[in-house]
Amino acid sequence: DAETPYTRIIEHKHFEFGKGDKDKTVITREYPADWHRGDEPYYPINNQRNNELYKQYAKLASEKANNVIFGGRLGQYRYYNMDQVLHAALTAVNKEFD
């Protein structure tokens, strides 16, 4: 929301598989940054030009690398939250093993 300056918070103890101190934790906040020419973009920029370019790459990939599964933000050229990443991965597995 507009009142929250950061994109997400990660609490690291949930990723350490119980190895950390139970009474202490470390959190990381991700803050958005405006992109400037020369910066590496981390997320897809979904404008008409880039979407058309993605369609061309997807077509080429289906013709030349039909035994490769392209997934994730860059492979599917989408922004995903973590729950969406898991859903997309499970969907890809189900499709592959149908």
Cβ–Cβ under 8 Å, residues 32 and 7 = yes
Six token digits for residue 98: 């149908």
Name the band, by pLDDT with cuts 50, 70 and 90, for residue 13: confident
Calculate what percentage of the chain has a pLDDT beyond 70.
89
Q: pLDDT category, 85, cuts 50, 70, 90?
A: confident
Please, what is the Cα angle at 32 between 21 and 39, to 5 degrees? 115
Cβ–Cβ < 8 Å for 90, 96: no
Instruction: Give the chain's mean pLDDT.
Output: 84
Q: Which residue bears the tokens 């995903």?
A: 80
Residue 58 CA to residue 64 CA, distance in Å, equals 10
Out of 30-44, 49-63, 76-90, which region has the weakest mean confidence (pLDDT)? 30-44
Per-residue pLDDT at 16 exceeds 70: no
In whole angstroms, give the CA distance from residue 42 to residue 35: 9
